[in-house]
Each structure stands twice: as structure tokens, then as C-alpha cells.
Amino acid sequence: MSSIPRDLAAFLVEAKRRTYAGLDDDATVAAPLLAGSKQLEHRALPYAYRDIYFGMGFFVGQETVSRDDRVIWSMSYSGGVGAEIKERDSFLAVYKSLRQALLGVSVEEPVRGPRRFEQAGMIYRNEAEGALDRFHGIETIARHDGASLYELRYSGGLLR
């Protein structure tokens, strides 16, 4: 069994709150490593966090955490709003709700948001399995009437 650095979960919570969850959808570093991507970064030595993703309505991305310039943890994800949601204002409202949910990330579950979060007529759910060293999950946002608005699948863990 791999040993999880004690401070990794706390660093992930800080990094996630200071990047996508705490910013807007257009936030990016000035010159992303990959052309056409959005890139978010946070550093608190000895760790560095990087989130690189492509797309908006449907997107694919990867988060990495480096310690002393060596990637030690990663998570891949893909998802987005339903195909029937075409107007930018509509999916920005869903992503605003998503960011609010993601601000609820905790040291106990530092990968995505809380198990459940409700705001502005939308219900966020996160069904995760595993621990920080190896995990996978799905998060969804639906209206109160059950209509699906958003879905994302993710997986990752400690690299060895």
C-alpha cells in the first residue's frame, strides 16, 4: 500500500479553492503549455498544482501535483453540460453552481466537491470510491425535478 504524504490533502484543498473553484471559467495562465488549453496553477512549496483542460460545454482535463519537481499525484476527468444546453449563459450558470460546490472540497475528501450540495435550484452530487492514493467517481448536477444538467467522471491517485 502506498503511503500518502500527510500534507497532500491539505495542499489539494488549498489549490482547488484558489484555482477553478475560486475563479471564473476563463481563468488561465498567460501561456498554457498546450496550445488551445486552459491552465490553472497553484504553488505552496514543496508542492505545485497544475490543472490543464480543453473545451467548455464538454471538456477533458488532467490535474497534477508535483513535489520537488516530480509529479506524485494525478487525476484525469471528462464531462460537461448536457448536449441540449447550447447557450453560453445557461452553461455558465451550471458551472457557477459547480464552482460553489467545489469550494466545499474537504481534507477528508480532497478530490472533488462534497457528497451533496444544493444551490440556485440545482443539486450537485459526488459519488466517489477509494482514497487519495487510488480513486474514481462521478459528479452530477440536476434540477430539482430530476432533469440532468451536468455530468463528470474522474479517476486518479498517487503515482508510483
Instruction: Render each residue's pLDDT in the chain as its tens digit; 160 residues.
Output: 457 888 999 999 999 999 998 876 555 577 888 999 999 999 999 999 999 999 999 999 999 999 999 999 999 999 999 999 989 899 899 999 999 999 999 999 999 999 999 998 999 999 999 999 999 999 999 999 999 999 999 999 999 9
How many angstroms separate the CA atoms of 66 and 119, rounded?
A: 34
pTM over 0.85, yes/no: yes
Say what the pLDDT of residue 1 is.
44
How far the first Cα of the chain sits from its last, in Å, is 11
Burial (CB count within 10 angstroms: exposed 0-12, middle 13-18, buried 19+), residue 87: exposed
Say what the pLDDT of residue 29 is.
76
Burial (CB count within 10 angstroms: exposed 0-12, middle 13-18, buried 19+), residue 31: exposed
**What CA dihedral angle connects 89, 116, 150 and 104, to 10 degrees?**
60
